[in-house]
Chains A and B, each alone.
Chain A
Amino acid sequence: MKNFSSAIQVIPLEHYIILCTTLFCIGLVGVLYRRNTIIILMCIELMFNSVNLLLTAFSAYHSDPAGQVFVFFIMIVAAAEVAVGLSILVMMKRNVDSVDINLLNRLKW
């Protein structure tokens, strides 16, 4: 327990901000870069997780457990989102026989 508390005091909070920003931007690039729907869903998970890590870091540095409860709620919403998103993907595969996101453009114009 002593070691962990020293870890929080040794590493500055800015490093967590930079790390989480990097991860969030990798997820954003993945959403824009790929056409495979399942990889787009995974990149959304990556962005969720970078926000979770940053919330936990702020919570630990400010000694406030509310931030970790928020992370718990974000995990709940992410689980529900993945269930609905994957069922949409199954439906898409069944209807158009592909997972290419560019085929879902009927609402575009």
Chain B
Amino acid sequence: MVFLFYFLSAIMVISALLVVSTRSPINSVIYLIVCFITMAGHYILLNAQFLAVVQIIVYTGAIMVLFLFVIMLLNLNKITVPTKTSLTRIAALITGGLFFLVLIAATRLTFEIHPRYAFDSKIGLVSEVGKTLFGEFLLPFELSSVIFISSMVGAVMFGKKDK
């Protein structure tokens, strides 16, 4: 189990680094799919079966295919975008590293605290998540349909050719 956790984590971090550093967008999308599949593995390790299936279906099945379609449709793999200046890139790396340090330092004080909760292995199953979703969170769930329809209208508006 511990080995599986570190194995998945290593694949995830390496593929995430490759997403950022690869030149071609197609390869970036493929590495991001690898990253998301390992994340579904992490969800299974955390006993969240529902989220693992949703991760596979929604992220690697729908969103990444959308990315691939846009790349193929616009022929983006041929276009070369110039890289940023080296000063900006070094500044970006330093910013990311400092942000990492700040987050680790901020959460480090909580590392010693180990609150004990009663462990419940049925948390991530579809029945439990569904009961919470349609009980306590029914109104946000219904409102998310408004988000979807507005984003759909927005996408159609943007995609239309202007006269």
Which residues of A pack against B, CB within 8 Å?
A: 1, 3-11, 14-15, 17-19, 21-30, 32-36, 38-39, 41-43, 45-46, 49, 52-53, 56-57, 59-66, 68-69, 71-73, 75-84, 86-91, 93-94, 98-100
Option from B82, B129, B141 in Cβ contact (under 8 Å) with A68: B129
State in angstroms the CA–CA spacing of A9 and B9 once bound together: 17
Contact present for A73 and B67 (CB under 8 Å): no
Option from B81, B111, B118, B147 in Cβ contact (under 8 Å) with A77: B147
Q: Which residues of chain B are within 8 angstroms of A63 by Cβ–Cβ distance? A: 117-120, 123
Contact present for B159 and A90 (CB under 8 Å): yes
Can you offer 14 A-B residue contacts whose CB atoms are under 8 A? Answer: A26-B20, A30-B19, A38-B28, A39-B19, A42-B28, A53-B39, A59-B123, A60-B123, A63-B123, A64-B123, A68-B51, A68-B124, A72-B54, A72-B129
Q: Contacts A82-B63, A88-B158 given; indicate if A30 touches B20 (C-beta within 8 A).
A: yes
- 0/1 interface trace, chain B 84-102, chain A, CB 8 Å (1 if under): 1000110111011101100
Q: Which residues of chain B are within 8 angstroms of A29 by Cβ–Cβ distance? A: 20, 92-93, 95-96
Q: Which residues of chain A are within 8 angstroms of B76 by Cβ–Cβ distance? A: 38, 93, 99
Contact present for A39 and B28 (CB under 8 Å): yes
Which residues of B pack against A, CB within 8 Å?
A: 1-2, 4-5, 9, 12-13, 16-17, 19-20, 25, 28-29, 32, 35-36, 39, 42-48, 50-51, 54-55, 58-59, 62-63, 66-67, 70-71, 73-74, 76, 79, 81-84, 88-89, 91-93, 95-97, 99-100, 103-104, 107, 111, 115, 117-121, 123-124, 128-129, 131-133, 136-137, 140-141, 144, 147-148, 150-152, 154-156, 158-159, 161
Contact present for A72 and B51 (CB under 8 Å): yes
Contact present for B13 and A19 (CB under 8 Å): yes
Option from A23, A49, A62, A84 in Cβ contact (under 8 Å) with B59: A49
Q: Contacts A32-B95, A72-B133 given; indicate if A65 touches B155 (C-beta within 8 A).
A: no
Option from A27, A59, A77 in Cβ contact (under 8 Å) with B16: A27
Q: Which residues of chain A are within 8 angstroms of B100 by Cβ–Cβ distance? A: 21-22, 25
Option from A5, A27, A61, A86 in Cβ contact (under 8 Å) with B66: A86
Option from B17, B19, B42 in Cβ contact (under 8 Å) with A53: B42
Q: Contacts A23-B12, A42-B28, A60-B46 given; indicate if A93 touches B74 (C-beta within 8 A).
A: yes
